[in-house]
Structure 1
Amino acid sequence: MSALITTELVALDADLGQDKDAVVRRLAGLVAASGRATGADDLHADAMAREAKAATGLPGGIAIPHCRSAAVTQASLAFARLDAKVDFGAPDGPADLAFLIAAPEHGDADHLTLLTALARALVRPEFVASLRAAGSAEEVVGLVQDVVSPPEAPAAPAPQATGASGGE
């Protein structure tokens, strides 16, 4: 499976617009430009339809707009560290960190698994601080991949040989 987030899907210290509609549009554009969606407009429309059901702003300056969309050809996670904070409906104010989870239309379990893993990481102050301090898109990709794609479990150790040396 290819990476959910790549450097093409990261925008650092970016002014993506004055409101959540503009930010989601620009993040959808990153997903489409990277070849992971058939069109930014359809992905944007699906994400905003989901946004209309319930705000995706979380406490601490974080937003996670997300959707399943027929436009998405590959599950993707776009990220922006916003230069100007934008209101996503969080009770404590606007967000400076925004993720767009874009899942294929029939990706229910994957979409929820990704959302859960990301939400768990975002309650850890050290993870959020590391996103705010990241100096490059590569650094953001590494940080995020570590939480949404944990390393595979190590292979079971080989059984120890128990044979006796021929003299007993």
Structure 2
Amino acid sequence: MFETATIETTDKIAFHAELAEQFAALVQGERDPIANAANLSALVFAQVPGLNWAGFYFLRTPDELVLGPFQGRVACVRIAVGRGVCGTAVAEARSQRVDDVHAFPGHIACDAASRSELVVPLMRDGAVLGVLDLDSPVPGRFDADDQAGFEALARLYVEASDL
């Protein structure tokens, strides 16, 4: 059985590289997208400081995301494409890094404690399959290094999973 190790570095680029290494080892030989999403959610929630939610939404119809595996408080189950930070990430097929979710037009407040959010689309062959969603109670929690690190992790998830 794989056991995670606490990542002890203040260098964000090194942190994200080690997080990706741990995830790659965790999913080695496993192709199930739900199992991999569950383990990635747990790994991120345990390793990344300052989060109150980490998980997935999957595109189940062309216009709706449905909740997938996550860690944190209960969440919205369905999100329309184009609505909120997650729906906008799908509609625009690009990551959304929001320093203050209360200032984001149409923000969906699943947890009122969330103040900042990073949503990364899961892409394969130019198509959006879903999103990796990270919420924090800390305004401005995510920076460009976090975005790049989680985009790489999302690519690794898609490559490792039969979506």
Tell whether the structures are fold-level matches, with TM greater than 0.5: no
TM-score range (shorter-chain normalised) is 0.3 to 0.5
Normalised by the size of structure 1, how large is the TM-score? 0.35
Rg larger for: 1
Q: Answer 1 or 2: which has greater strand percent.
A: 2
